[in-house]
Chains A and B, each alone.
Chain A
Amino acid sequence: MTSPAPAPRAKARPRGRGLVTTILLLPATFWYLVLLVLPLLIVVVYSFGTRGSDGGYTPALLLDNYQTLFSRPDPFILSLWVAVTGTIACLFIGFPFAYFLATRAGKRKTLFLVLLVIPFWTSFLVRTIAWLIILGPDGLEGFIQSVTGVDVAILGSPWAILLGIVYNYLPLMVFPLYVTLERLDPTLLEASKDLGASRWATFRQITLPISLPGLITGSILVFIPLMGEYVIPSILGLGKVFLIGNVLQLDFLGSRNWPAGSAKAVTLIAIMLISVTFYVWTSTRSQSGGRDVSVL
């Protein structure tokens, strides 16, 4: 076990393999270049321009859009806050559920998974508007009113928005976690208990590190869409919560100021890249060979 592994022998590649590989990669490469990289480049170029007289884009090379952006960073900060709290909430609710599914659900596993996915068979908007009814005066607010006589406003508060977010994004957190936790060998836990570790120590030293890849994937799958999310806060916040998505909507569909919207989009992408990289780096730093954790 301590002797170094022998250097892998270079496999002899039959001729023609290179061509097949290239052809197989062609559709994906085309997709990435033309439908991802190119539009992103266009957005970056637009972000330096100015608004046309009737809306749209006029070529220019100005930093004005970025300057106005940094003078008014509130929507970004709020979006970041919503994304972080939403991810943490999904984590706190999703992890126990995934753990339960992986270790204790047994025969009912598939049933629970199906129940988790069924809401996704309806329209996303319908699901969110349903919460308007559940939380509104015909629902929870009305119930509290009738029982305590107090006029409470749940809709429009951050709690309603958090509820809507967790409801819509929970499966994205649960699935990667479940898949990772399923590999958890129960004998490890037994061994840990036998060796005298407390439950918390077992969790911290055995379960958590094993679930880390799933945790990272789930968090990223939830965090990234949440940064751009604006429909749920718009509906459940009764139009009073103003996030990056709302700003982009106003810029592109309202004042039709494409350069300003592009600048905000570029900033949003940059923020996401930085935060995700930082998150992955800190999470896998402790593992030796952490660079082996393939996240995407």
Chain B
Amino acid sequence: MKLPPGVKSKDFADAIRQFEDAVGKQWVFTSEEDVALYRDAYSPFWGEEEERVASAAVAPDSVEQVQKVVRVANALKIPIYPISTGKNLGYGGSAPNLSGSVVLDLKRMNRVLEVSERNAYALVEPGVSYFDLYRHIQEKGYKLWVDVPDPGWGSPIGNALDHGGGYLQPQFRNHFDSHCGMEVVLANGEVLRTGMGALPGSKTWQEYKFGFGPWIDGIFSQGSSGVVTKMGFWLMPQPDAYLTGTVTVPGYEDITPLVDILTFLENSGVSNGMPGLGSPVLGGFMMPPPKSEVTAMLNEGGVASPKLQQYARQNGIPYWSCTVKFYGPAKAITAQWEYAKEKFSAIAGAKFQDGESYKLPLTPDQFNKVHKPEFGIPSLEMFSIGARSPYNPTPTSGHMWFSPIIPRTGEAILEANRVFSQAAKDFGLPILSFSLPSTYWMRAFIFLFGFPITHDIPTNRKNRESFRKLIQLSAEHGWGEYRTPPAFQDTVMETYSFNNHALRRFHETIKDALDPNGIISPGRYGIWPKHLRGQKA
């Protein structure tokens, strides 16, 4: 067992005994076999001394039990690492930042406390998974959708706190943005409610976020200032219909007006589903694979290759595509698509194709065909498509996401690709020659590059080194990571350095004030308590 740094064996044993008193002996896990379940399956340090591992785990069933555990940890200065369902794969899983921490596993707190169909919100505990909430809504017959990530086995609270995203309308896709009200156990064991929840007897905890005075919910997201034990979420009323349409544009330079028009349509609320950018000539994800001659031209001259542009023109293959999606009344979304076509028609040579059109709810046949998260349905299908195939001949043991935020412009897409494809050559990175960004966030693009994790230590070392270089390179161009595995959180936080790291110093001030013994998630997102500051996990 790896004890937390600076903690004596006697104190640790005392803490374990008191945890057992608090939650019941059967809910405190100390055996090697049990603790191993909290390893990060996708750890970039797999099998190395630096792998972040827990010393034990404790699984409370109630807020009161969480308070008891936190008070014990605070008294004996035992670091704890709260997790909800522990499915944060690709960004750290359930393993702590600081080896030797005790995982505070909240999976037993799995109650859906309230769902209001009338006002479209839910109040849940951290152990509630997206499947649980979806099932509750289905069983009650509520006409509500939950915005789910893909895969959907995680928890709304855990995903929102890590700034995860989904696939429905923009006001729901950003899961932290769509929360309303929190309950938090602080490091001293006190319970705090945010927003309207601070008003005893409040009737609007899940209806108005801000309450009165400074709004503090943000410090608990990607944070280490408390243990979130309840959270409210706004849900999406089930729409009448769903419609998609695709516009293609012929030229390389057309990406700029294409993105500008898309952004206008989204910011105006005309297109209200998650759009998808593509490149018919380049092929790839969700499109036929590129032809070998295209790959050769791309590798030789990049996406701007004159040969590639000529090839596209001669063969009548559009350079770019954009699929826009609409939820709402059938008549309204048909009109919205018509309006979108009018706007995109400003690009010479734009062509249009109608896509999916469903009256909702889906029929069983439709249900089996669609990408389920776009209909608020949790799914694990993703795990069946990442396996070995002609396009993935050597499946790895997992992945870690490199995920920079870039401006929402066509120019930024091209610039980021120029930088990252050059980096791929320079550093020997396992990323594609050209990628298009994801559109989870309405106001910015995000690139998602999956770095392979293997069980080969030299390969992992090389990939970690490349990952760090890419973080630095990205920051030099003004693109910051939105989320990263614990192995790189210090590196990323180091790049957010405006005014001599004023932001990190602010976080540290808050950390020291709220958690002076530094027991809650030390090191999470690069925020270390005073006694560990400057050290590495």
* B is bound to A: no
